[in-house]
């Protein structure tokens, strides 16, 4: 899809500028959500690639619920802060931004690159930004979330965990997501993980 954003050049230059020349002593995060990821329990196991046969799995599955995954990719360090939630709402987005702020030294300037989904532009988010004067949101142009580097991380999660996975529950899905990153920590109350 082609972006029809009249401010495409300005927004794209802002995002690319944060990548190429971030503000001194500031943290730049690419923030996004992968929403409603289904925990599918497949009837048949994955059949691996072999000579003369493509990798495949059976077509029958059982749905065991969904989770949404919030992620913040630190462009300077490559670390990802992640959190799974049952629902994708503006309130959950603000809670995740609060976790991102808490992961940084006090008063550090934080720039978060986001897409234009409606949950990023609510009054609740505006109130949070008013209370956190050191946090700045930068929006990618419409239909241009590919400018957000966290999309590469979501692509990896899709390939390595979701597409090949068999999940008996959303808790099983959550548990299987974690091992692909050796520095994962999980806090039981918030399901917050540093990946």
3-state SS, one letter per residue, for 20-60? HCCCCCCEEEEEEEEEEEEEEEECCCCECCECCECCECCCC
Which has the higher per-residue pLDDT, 100 or 86? 100
Is residue 90 one of the residues assigned to a domain?
A: yes
pLDDT digits (tens, 9 = 90+) for 96-144: 999 999 999 998 999 999 998 888 999 999 999 999 999 999 999 998 8
Is residue 120 one of the residues assigned to a domain?
A: yes
Is residue 133 one of the residues assigned to a domain?
A: yes
Neighbours of 24 (CB within 10 A): 6
Is residue 24 one of the residues assigned to a domain?
A: yes
To the nearest whole percent, how much of the chain has pLDDT over 90? 47
Among the residue ranges 11-25, 39-53, 70-84, 115-129, the one predicted with the least confidence is: 39-53
Q: How many domains does the chain have?
A: 1
- Domain that includes residue 144, residue range: 8-39+65-164+174-194
Neighbours of 51 (CB within 10 A): 4
Whichever domain contains 24, its CATH number is 3.30.420.10
Is residue 123 one of the residues assigned to a domain?
A: yes
pLDDT digits (tens, 9 = 90+) for 132-191: 999 999 999 998 888 999 999 899 888 888 887 788 888 888 887 755 443 333 333 334
Residues 3 and 141 sit within 8 Å (Cβ to Cβ): yes
Indicate whether 79 pLDDT > 60: yes
Q: What 3-state DSSP class applies to 117?
A: coil
User: Which pLDDT value is given to residue 161?
Assistant: 82
User: Which pLDDT value is given to residue 114?
Assistant: 95
User: Which pLDDT value is given to residue 1?
Assistant: 57
Q: Is the pTM of this model over 0.75?
A: yes
Indicate whether 49 pLDDT > 90: no
Is residue 30 one of the residues assigned to a domain?
A: yes
Is residue 25 one of the residues assigned to a domain?
A: yes
Report, in this order, helix, strand and coil percent for the chain, each rounded to 5. Answer: 35, 30, 40
- Section 4-15 average pLDDT: 92
User: Which pLDDT value is given to residue 191?
Assistant: 44
Average pLDDT of the chain to the nearest whole number: 84
Residue 66's beta-bridge partner residues? 38
Is residue 106 one of the residues assigned to a domain?
A: yes
């Amino acid at each position: 899809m082609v972006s029809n954003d009249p401010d495409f050049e300005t927004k794209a230059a802002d995002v690319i500028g944060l990548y190429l020349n971030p503000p001194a002593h500031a943290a730049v995060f690419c923030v996004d959500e992968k929403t409603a990821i289904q925990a599918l329990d497949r009837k048949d196991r994955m059949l691996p690639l072999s000579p003369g046969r493509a990798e495949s799995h059976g077509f029958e599955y059982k749905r065991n619920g969904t989770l949404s995954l919030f992620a913040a990719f630190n462009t300077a360090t490559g670390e990802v802060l992640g959190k799974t939630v049952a629902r994708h709402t503006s309130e959950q987005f603000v809670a995740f931004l609060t976790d991102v702020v808490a992961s940084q030294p006090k008063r550090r300037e934080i720039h978060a690159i986001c897409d234009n989904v409606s949950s990023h532009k609510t009054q609740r988010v505006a109130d949070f930004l008013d209370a956190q004067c050191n946090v700045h949101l930068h929006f990618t142009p419409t239909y241009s979330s590919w400018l957000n580097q966290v999309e590469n991380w979501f692509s990896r999660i899709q390939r390595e965990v979701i597409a090949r996975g068999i999940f008996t529950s959303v808790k099983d899905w959550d548990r299987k997501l974690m091992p692909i990153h050796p520095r994962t920590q999980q806090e039981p109350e918030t399901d917050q993980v540093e990946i």
